[in-house]
Amino acid sequence: MAEKPAMPASWRVESKPHKFCPGCGHGIALRALGQAIDELGIQDRTVFGCDIGCSLLAWDFFNVDTIQTHHGRTTPVMVGVKRANPDLICIAYMGDGGGYAIGAQHLVNAASRNDKITAILINNTQYAMTGGQMAPTTMPGQKTETTPYGRDPELTGLPAQGPEMIATITPEGAYVARGTVSKLRQLKKMMVRALKCQMEGRGFSFIEVLSTCPTNWRTNARETWSFLEEKMPQYFQIGEIKIPVSEGDADE
């Protein structure tokens, strides 16, 4: 990441440099999203909803109408906007706590209702903004502030398999994928497909994004990248899990 690629046109220059910690994956995920919005030409009709947790720091990130909501509640707010005005492209952007813990019922029900929104969930294996507590996505043995001796699957289960669950409960037409901030081009492609799924009214679209949190992981740059690229994929398989049938060209 030595060279700085140009900012996506949908990014808001005035709010850059952004407020995420150095080495945080949010910036990369939001770059992929910005590029997707640019490519699809939907900046004028996109509504971006961000959750509580580090995702809230994106409340003024884009030159896109944005609603910063409550913890776990971005999905229903975006469902509400979309139902009221189906012409808008609604994106619910949240963390793993927001999607798989406090807001799980909303994510599950929006998915099974096949609401035509796009949910993007950043998986960095813990609650970052509140100081690094265990999340549904914390890896077995991983130390967090509430699992100081490492997550014990006997006591607290295994990492949530979000996209796999969403793929199971959504009808045909939905789009479900898991990407990673280490593969920006693939991630952007997933975002384009997810948004297209919404634009074409096919169904619910969902992307989990494997991301980094060196601040709470307490890792240096090399360790951070190795956790993301080597450890996380042991539990979280990257790729497209469900694509609309007619799309039929899953790759990468």
Partner 1 sequence: MAEKVIAGEKRVFMTGNEVVAWAALAAGAEIMYGYPITPQNEIMHYWTRLAPKYNRKFLQTEDELSAGFTTVGGVMAGKRAFTATAGPGNTLMQEPISMAEAMRLPFVAMIIQRGGPSTGTVIYSQQEVMMTVLGGNGEGLRIVYSTANHQELFDYSIKAFDTAWKYRFPTFVLADGYQGKMREPLTIYDPDDRGIKISDTEPYVGRPGTPGVDRPPGHYRNTYNVEEELYEVLQDHIKDFESIADEVSEYESMASDDAELLVVAHGVVARAAKQATEALRQQGLKVGYFRPITLRPLPSTPLREAVNRAGRMLVVESAYGQLGRLLKEALYGATAEFIPYYKPGVGFTPEEIMARCRELIT
Q: How many CB atoms lie within 10 A of CB 180?
A: 24
What's the token pair of residue 19? 């407020």
Residues that bind partner 1 (CB under 8 A): 10, 12, 43-45, 47, 52, 56, 59-60, 62-70, 73, 76-85, 87-88, 105-106, 108-109
What's the token pair of residue 4? 């700085």
Whole-number Å distance between alpha carbons of 183 and 93: 19
Minimal distance in Å, beta carbon 81 to partner 1? 4
Q: Angle at the Cα of 185 (from 245 to 48), degrees rounded to 5?
A: 75
**Residue spans of alpha helices (H) in the chain:** 26-40, 74-84, 96-97, 104-112, 153-156, 162-169, 184-199, 214-217, 221-226
Question: Closest CB to partner 1 among 62 and 206?
Answer: 62
Question: Closest CB to partner 1 among 48 and 227?
Answer: 48
Minimal distance in Å, beta carbon 19 to partner 1? 9
Minimal distance in Å, beta carbon 89 to partner 1? 9
Question: Closest CB to partner 1 among 37 and 134?
Answer: 37
Q: Cis peptide before 5, with omega less than 30 degrees from 0?
A: no
Minimal distance in Å, beta carbon 162 to partner 1? 17
Question: Closest CB to partner 1 among 26 and 178?
Answer: 26
Question: Closest CB to partner 1 among 116 and 151?
Answer: 116
Minimal distance in Å, beta carbon 21 to partner 1? 15
- Find how far residue 20's CA is from the centre of its chain: 15
